[in-house]
Amino acid sequence: MTAASEVLIVDDDADIREALSGVLTLDGLDVVSFGDAREALGWLDQGHVPAVVLLDLMMPTMNGWEFVQELTRRPALSGLPVIVLTGAAESGGLHVRSLLKKPVDLDVLLSEVRRWTGNGAPG
C-alpha cells in the first residue's frame, strides 16, 4: 500500500525523529519513524510503501548504507526515494535522491520532501 503523503524517518536519535516528525506533520504529512533500520525494513516488508524515506547513515545494528542495499534487493522497494540526512562529509557512493547535511535546513528539507510527496506548502 502506497501512501502519497507518508514519510518514513529512520534515525537512531529520538530527538531528531521527534523534531522531524513535528515539522513534517505540521506540513500536512503522515509520518512513520523508526530508531532501528531493521525494524523499518520489517515495516516495509509488510507492504508499506511511503512516498519518501529520510535516512540517517550512522546507526547501530544496521547502518544507512546497509539499509539502502537491502532496499535495492527488493524489487517493490528498489525505486523508493531516499533522502540521506547525515553529518558525514559524503554519502560514500550511495545512490540516493538527495544528501542533506546535519544540522538540516528545514526549508531545504521540506522542499525535498514535497518533491516526492506532491505536498505543496501549507496556506
Distance between alpha carbon 102 and the CA centroid of its chain, in Å? 14
- In a domain, residue 122? The reply is no
- In a domain, residue 7? The reply is yes
CATH number where 39 lies: 3.40.50.2300
Structural domains in the chain (count): 1
> What integer pLDDT is reported at residue 123 of this predicted model?
39
Domain range enclosing 21: 2-117
- In a domain, residue 123? The reply is no
- In a domain, residue 18? The reply is yes
pLDDT, tens only, 76-121: 998 899 998 887 655 555 667 778 888 889 999 999 999 989 876 5
Reported pTM: 0.89
CB-facing half-sphere around the CA of 37: CA atoms within 13 A: 19
pLDDT, tens only, 48-74: 999 999 999 889 889 998 999 999 999
